[in-house]
Amino acid sequence: MSSERELEAEIERLWMENARLQETLEALRARRDAEARIRAVLRRRDACALVVADVMTANPDVLHLGDNLRAAVERFRRGHYRRLPVLDASERLVGIITDRDIRQALNSPFVLHERWQDEMLLNQVLVDVCMTPDPIAVRPETPLYEAARLMRTRKIGGLPVLDDADRLIGIVTETDLLRAFEEALTAAAQLSADEETL
């Protein structure tokens, strides 16, 4: 009887030891995975190796020089945009127009006008009257921190992205930068949480 109880106790102890070893093994695997992610980041040339192409909005909606303000307002509303690049007939970037530019063109606080005049403005004024010509642009390989610095120092909310042939391939905006920042903070928090569980 005594040996049967001892045998059961030994089996119970071995099961407990096995469970403890399994937990230790899982913790070691989690640590190995976290270290592998950190090594992958460190293998990049620079800890801040994100470039504009990593976060930009590719192939953005655009306006063209011949578009009137009504077309611009409709495009802004439909896409919930705050800025759009303006292209010429040969698809070259010639400007950028913001929702603020359009509001200023339509709602001058110094000029009172009636509804029919608003309609006339929407139909007859072209985007090139309101746009910012020759906007500052970046390349897809521009480091993200440089684009962010440019936007902050120039107080602009977005930068067109041009390829080597000066064709528009994207736009990087404040929203894109905030999304990248959020993803970086989330990844850092996850790594920290993984390390704490070890």
Contact 159, 136 (CB under 8 A): yes
What pLDDT, on the 0 to 100 scale, is given for residue 63?
97
Residues 117, 60: Cα–Cα separation, whole Å: 31
Residues 165, 133: Cα–Cα separation, whole Å: 19
DSSP-derived 3-state class of residue 11: helix
Domain 52-181 indexed as CATH 3.30.420.40: no
- Give per-residue pLDDT as tens, 6-44: 888 888 899 989 989 888 888 788 777 666 655 555 555
pLDDT at residue 70 is higher than 80: yes
pLDDT at residue 165 is higher than 90: yes
- Angle, helices 99-106/115-124, rounded to nearest 10 degrees: 130
The domain locations on the chain are 1-43, 52-181
CA 108 to chain CA centroid, Å, is 33
Which tokens belong to 28?
């070691």
pLDDT band (50, 70, 90) for residue 112: low
DSSP-derived 3-state class of residue 62: coil
pLDDT band (50, 70, 90) for residue 76: very high
State the amino acid at position 108 in one-letter form: S
